[in-house]
Structure 1
């Protein structure tokens, strides 16, 4: 079976297995997606370069996907786009396949993931807790292994809080770097399209296809002086109340950066937290009324029961904010932004917990506005200040994910990703067959965020056999004296990715220690000897690719 087609079938089987219907607003019919998968595989087989072939993605329900209604979480708001949003079109052009649109806090108004007529999206680890919003369905679809990537949006932190609560990566790029055309706006002047993935390299790769050339000059970007990475952190008492164990987990993340060679210094978090309160409590929330206010007014007058009452209340109340308050708030925001950038000064990034705690569904139901406001303590100011951010998993506390966030000036996106890698432990794996670069199973490595370290050879202690499998692959066995050196590649990948690779490894393949020509050993793909009974010994070719070049398929 083709690589992409098998991935599609596995995804739909996974959807049935996890039984989380609240993740989705609209799913594409499986036969339609399978047909697209066959086409992708045919194009790859014909030599077309599709870097995201085999990847599946989902789009938040306020992002246009041609053939599906765009609802923004409100069925009566639905319209039928004639074309994909540019971000969707760009992922598809690179070979990725869209499965459907995901649930969200209605009109992208919230950080909790419960404000939807389609139901509250439950957390991937603990169904009694929130998933985080507003990009709730997208984050959980990634965390549960249904899709490889998912698109979200971020105005107040919606591309980061759900990442933290579900143990995945969320990249919120610099404003304007990724087009928001074809996206139902929340606050159009500060909205960002974001990407979720289980690993940082995979999220980075997707973002590279989503992004446009900068729409403004980069000469304002501060030039970095030589030296170790400089990380700004607030004093612990400025973080406010955190959930049990979270302060210690945050301090451990700081220490991990120090151990990796970073220099840490203190900053005053006050301008960031003061600006955070302005996003909903100031005049800026009126931009949400500009986006969908007239629709909500009409829908309320008609008794539309699909409106979420909390969302409708937030947006309709903003209608009466006086214009003079917006000017006053803009002036105050400019002062706070100047202070915040001065605090950052020559720091490469600000490290913060992504959120101060992880509430239960019951806690949100008891205090929907207060709980939501707490969730945005560290995220609300980022877009108001025109900063870039990346949220990454750090550890687990009491069995639940704990995540941290790196924030930096506009257009320091690549710099933040480089620093974030210091928080992601890595492993190595050696491959000799269908996982080699350009081979049919290589997308499995790429999907786990792997990157090629080097091409080398094994120690002269192995034999290679052509197995009778689909797709064709070789089996490597250790024979000791009388063996040969065979072509191999060594890949770096996140440590947790190696575990997922092992869990999905079909027999007769095994993961064991592979000896390389330089005398080192790394985990690598080997084969159970029992599978070699009818397998041709192809050791003399020197490697799998050489065997294929001689016409064997």
Structure 2
């Protein structure tokens, strides 16, 4: 879709009857859970066309949102039909996007209650991976990533607690931006882990993702987790930014030799662009990652839907319940012990991170097939979080983008990770990679 065209005719071209039929088919194929009526989108375009649309920063761009983000008049299900409710007000992020001229297409499929990195835990089916039909789409923001990768929208919103805004991006060969915690309002978003959640952004290029971030980044007094910080801007990186990477002995790819070779090649690409690649001990980061699901933070998922899960336990998919249900038995003592452990690991990591401009990790350690996840749904899901689970617990920002091509033709993807409020710097580093001269 030529997003540079900004007029009502663009929307008319984007929503012809045959396209609506295709989108309806995609809904049945599990990309979308709900679509906005065509006449409503046309009316929005007409209002913008007759007003100040040309001065709106996102005018004419189509977007979709994950089905745990409220849109007035469209049910929010969080991929659980029994949980569904009809919001009379859109989430703050949706309001800001529409005020900026973007046009909503619909809501996208997801792992139920945002619990999973695989994208197969939904009663609405599995959103088809944009690269290869036998591969998982990644989750939990599966439909949001697929909708962007297949070109149905210019950008989309997901959420990210453990990597849900990064793994699907890597699995579909697009950009995924995970903002600093508290930078974007969560008002009108169904929580997973409220202390770790953030709305995330998918797009096909870094510039669009960052432009969207600048529109939706704003303090929200209604959101107790919102922070009043300056709007992110692109920062000029050093000529030789120092990037920390896991040493070869600590890199985990779970038998995916193509992923291992591709990451080594991607590091060579970074070095050719002036990045100073430094190996650092990743064991403390892996220890933090293990805390997310082996520690008490999974109990936040129970707290988020406590009244629902206790009154409707059978409404959850068995795999979702198996992850969330047992966490009600976690004690306060265990919670405090894990908080102390996290604090100690953070202190251990402070000098390491301060000596670097950012970290660079493989986004997806292994490209899993749908059949593999069906055989081993828990362990393989956990493997996918190897390089993502520690980010939110440590209050870090991240952006992932495709860099090279694996030996099997799939894209390789690197994630830049930095401290809170380094969003502008990370985007600038990603732009350096994305805009490198073609060989």
| Fold shared, TM-score > 0.5 on shorter chain | yes
Q: Where do residues 445-464 of structure 1 align in structure 2 (5 Å cutoff)?
A: none
In 1, the alpha carbon distance for the partners of 2:152 and 2:49 equals 20
How far off its partner does 1:224 sit?
Answer: 11
Name the CA distance, whole Å, in 1 between partners of 2:78 and 2:25. Answer: 26
1:12 aligns with 2:20: yes
User: Is the strand fraction higher in 1 or 2?
Assistant: 1
Following the alignment from structure 2 to structure 1, what is the Cα–Cα distance between the partners of residues 277 and 369? 33
Please report how far the alpha carbon of residue 395 of structure 1 lies from its aligned counterpart in structure 2 after TM superposition. 2.1
In the other structure, the counterpart of 1:161 is: 167
CA change 1:311–1:163 in 2 (3 A) is: same
Of 111, 115, 129, which residue of structure 2 is paired with 1:109? 115
In 1: Cα distance, 2:318 partner to 2:116 partner: 12
Is the 2:35–2:105 Cα contact (8 Å) retained in structure 1? yes
Per the alignment, residue 424 of structure 2 pairs with 414
Aligned equivalents of 1:155 and 1:287: distance in 2? 11
Deviations 1:503-537 (A, max 9, x none): xxxxxxxxxxxxxxxxxxxxxxxxxxxxxxxxxxx
- Residues 237 and 425 in structure 2, CA contact (< 8 A), matched pair in contact too: no
1:106 Cα offset (Å): 0.4
Structure 2 partner of 1:310:
319
Q: How does 1:121-200 map to 2 (within 5 A)?
A: 121-200=127-206
Q: Secondary structure of the equivalent of 1:22?
A: coil
Name the CA distance, whole Å, in 2 between partners of 1:178 and 1:225. Answer: 24
Partner in structure 2 of residue 231 of structure 1: 243
Structure 1 residue 255 and structure 2 residue 264: aligned? no
Match of 1:415, SS state, is: helix
Matching of residue 58 in structure 1 with residue 58 in structure 2? no
Alignment of 1:65-76 (within 5 A): 65-76=71-82
RMSD, aligned CA = 2.2
Which structure: larger Rg?
Answer: 1
The C-alpha deviation readout for 1:307-356, integer Å capped at 9, x for no partner, is 21111121111001111000000000111112223222221110000121
Q: 1:217 to 1:421 in 2, by over 3 A?
A: closer
Moved over 4 A (4+): 16-20, 223-227
Alpha-carbon distance in structure 2 between the residues aligned to 1:291 and 1:81: 18
Give, in whole Å, the separation in 2 of the partners of 1:321 and 1:193: 27
CA distance in 2, matches of 1:111, 1:408: 21
Structure 2 stretches lacking a partner, 5+ long: 1-7, 220-225
Which whole-Å CA distance do the structure 1 matches of 2:381 and 2:9 have between them?
44
Q: Is the 8 A contact 2:139 2:167 kept in 1?
A: yes
Cα pair 2:244 2:356 within 8 Å, conserved:
yes
TM-score scaled to structure 2, two decimals?
Answer: 0.90
Quick one: distance in 1 between partners of 2:253 and 2:143? 28
> Are residues 1:93 and 2:99 paired?
yes
Higher relative contact order (CA 8 A, sep 6+): 2
Tell me how many residue pairs correspond in the alignment. Answer: 419
1:424 Cα deviation (Å)?
Answer: 1.0
Provide the C-alpha distance between the structure 2 equivalents of 1:265 and 1:194, rounded to a whole number of angstroms.
28
Residue 343 of structure 2 corresponds to which residue in structure 1?
334
